[in-house]
Amino acid sequence: MNRFYLALLFLLFSQNGVFAQEAESIEIVANACEKALDGESPSSVRIRAVDKAVFLGLKNLKELDQDKAVLNDHDLNVMIYRLVDDYVEDLSSKVTKSETGKVCVDIKGYINPNNIALVRKDFDDKKQNALQDENVVSEIVKQVNDEVKIRPQNVENLALVYVNELEYYNGAKSQKYADVLKDKIKDSPYYYLTQEKDLADYTITPKVLKAKVDALDATHKRIQMVVVLDVEGLDEDVQTISQNRFLLFSSEENEQSIASRLIKKLLDAASMDAVRQIERKEQLKLEQNTLGRNISDDVL
């Protein structure tokens, strides 16, 4: 067999491999309509209608039946929107109706079941990690309280912690959320909160790095928020503790109220880690000063 035929056979096998891979993809077919918001352009309405149709098409796939059985509506929607954003292939759409205040579309696309499994695993891993992180922090705090007996005996031995105003990504600041954070971290046997920044052993600066709201359809919105705590005093460099969440909510709900609740939730989650790290450092300092060695490395 000469080289020409070998090359031809190789090409045919390669093409068959591609076709087999494409044949594994699942077809998505759906339709949806969207009403225009005040002042919204027809092209923007069409984009929302297409997103809605793709979402509905994916949600109706039998391949997601197992997810519908175990996830609540919010978590299921978050998972599906991840598929919509990143893994739908060869998407085409056709406007079937366009009139004043309303656009309807038909869509057709494909998704590889391997990508569904990938997103499912990633989603499960993140949920498990979040639960484990909360459980680990709670267990560490319990162990410290139960097993490590050295505590500051005098007020002058307590560290001082200062909390800056919360900083937004646009440069604005908020004392309100600084006070929320102070209330969450104030009860510790290792430190006092101080109003004098120059005297502080540790300085915490809360920041909102991102707060983005997207309209998913006429009835639902999605907010993504990133909150961090920059902690000075733990090390030579500033230590950053980050929290990131997506949240779906009804268009009828007040965006500011949703954002406010989410900021408080993320501050609460980040503050647990900040308190743990500060108390750990103070505990080690006390052990070193009292015993000349550290006994809590295995506990903390």
pLDDT at 277: 92
Q: Return the CATH fold of 150-291.
A: Double Stranded RNA Binding Domain (3.30.160)
Lookup result for tokens 């004043």: 100
- What is Dmax (Cα atoms) for the chain? 92
pLDDT, tens digit, 9 for 90 and up, residues 167-178: 999 999 999 999
pTM value is 0.55
pLDDT of residue 230: 96
CA dist list (Å): 153 to 158, 185, 190: 9, 20, 10
Q: Cα(155)–Cα(120) distance, rounded to whole angstroms?
A: 51
| pLDDT computed for residue 46 by the predictor | 87
| Cβ(96)–Cβ(31) below 8 Å | yes
Q: Which residues pair with 159 in a beta bridge?
A: 191
CATH class held by domain 3-120: alpha beta
- What is the rounded radius of gyration, in angstroms, for the C-alpha atoms of the chain? 27
Pairing of strands 202-215, 220-232: antiparallel
Distance between CA atoms of residues 225 and 300, nearest Å: 30
d(CA 27, CA 23): 10
What residue has token string 């929320």? 180
How would you class 137 by CB atoms within 10 Å of its CB: exposed for 0-12, middle for 13-18, buried for 19 or more?
middle
Here the tokens at position 261 are 């609740």
Q: Which residues in the chain come in under a pLDDT of 50? A: 14-23, 147-149, 298-300
242 bridge partner residues: 228
- Domain segments of the chain as ranges: 3-120, 150-291
The C-alpha atoms of residue 67 and residue 4 are separated, in whole angstroms, by: 50
Contact 163, 180 (CB under 8 A): no
- What is the tens place of the pLDDT at every residue in 266-281? 999 999 999 999 988 8
